[in-house]
Amino acid sequence: HPLLDSSSGEELLTTAGALRGVHQELLQRLESAGADVRAVTLAFNLMTPFLRMYSTYCGSYGRVLRRVAEARHEAPALGALEGSCGERIDSLLIRPVQRLCKYPLFFKELLGGLPEEGGARAELEMAAEAVRRVNEEVNAKIKGAEEGARLMALHQELGGRLPSLLAPTRTLLFEASVRLSEGRTGRRHYRLVLLSDAVIVARESRPRGSQAIRRALTRARRRDREAEAPGAAPKQGDGGMPRLKLKAVLPLPRTVVKRKPPRLTRRKLSVGVAAAGTGGGAGADAGA
């Protein structure tokens, strides 16, 4: 479809076609298997390796969904077409993603109906475990791709001043806007980024008048949403995205940072730096 003529759209549609073929084959095998648990297990064992294609599909899903929203805003005829068909493109695109999440639940329910002992159960448990491992692998790949995209965006916001940010062994654990106390100068807005091996503190700077521009854009978008058809997504703009000025990079011992970050919320935090010692604190320039 012309609406999905970008590389990500072509990739998603190609993968969707391949996934459709895999599940058509699975359906035929399950219909042939009937109530034979061993035959059902064999059907899933043969299909499991192909589940890795979901990582490609899910990796492109977000980009394509944004493109569909933009196309719906630019071409009202798309909304009319969806209305005549009784279903939005969004609800069709999400189905493979939902299916991937349902497989572990399917096997759990299937195993719940079998006796605790028996050869058929053992074989089905092995198939369920194989599907679970592939599911986790796909989720890890998707998460890694999202983290990589965010690190690239952060690298650009920093003006390329921190090339090592894109090291393949580095992962993003947490990111938040914070306000740091700097003595009598009051509190200023900073970006705090927790990586697997370092903490980055950067000053958020906005062009003069950006707050007034942002308010005006917000009002304009609200008017656009009210004028659009129900469910239509507004066209996105840059909205005066803050630029970041690198202030400090603090290396962390590997024994300190774990894969799971502490329980923090993505709200603005008020952080006092007086206890960190005298001097410039987080506002002091540091070499990267």
**209-231 pLDDT tens trace:** 445 555 555 666 665 555 444 44
Can you tell me the mean pLDDT for 3-21?
Answer: 69
- In whole angstroms, give the CA distance from residue 123 to residue 60: 34
Model confidence pLDDT, tens digit, residues 142-180: 777 777 778 878 888 888 778 778 777 788 888 888 887
Can you tell me the mean pLDDT for 34-45?
Answer: 84
- In whole angstroms, give the CA distance from residue 250 to residue 227: 48
Report the CATH fold assignment for 160-206+242-283. Answer: PH-domain like (2.30.29)
pLDDT reported for residue 214: 55
Packing angle of the helix pair 53-74, 119-157 (nearest 10 deg): 50
Confidence bin at 283 (pLDDT 50/70/90): very low
- In whole angstroms, give the CA distance from residue 125 to residue 84: 44
Domain boundaries, the chain: 2-152, 160-206+242-283
Q: What integer best gives the mean pLDDT of the chain?
A: 70
pLDDT reported for residue 226: 52
Tell me: pLDDT of 17 over 60: yes
| Other CB atoms within 10 Å distance of the CB of residue 64 | 22
The Cβ-side half-sphere exposure at 93, using a 13 Å CA radius, reads 21
- CA 212 to chain CA centroid, Å, is 31
Confidence bin at 28 (pLDDT 50/70/90): very high
Confidence bin at 69 (pLDDT 50/70/90): confident
The CATH label, of 3.30.70.20, 3.40.50.1370, 3.40.50.620, 1.20.900.10, for the domain at 2-152 is 1.20.900.10
202 strand-pairing partners: 191, 246
- In whole angstroms, give the CA distance from residue 31 to residue 51: 20
Sequence letter at residue 154: L
Q: Which residues contact 86 (CB under 8 A, 6 or more apart)?
A: none
What value does the CA radius of gyration of the chain take, rounded to a whole number of Å?
25
- In whole angstroms, give the CA distance from residue 149 to residue 63: 12
This prediction's pTM: 0.50
- Asked whether the CA dihedral 227, 228, 233, 237 is positive or negative, the reply is negative
In the block, residue with structure tokens 């549609």:
13
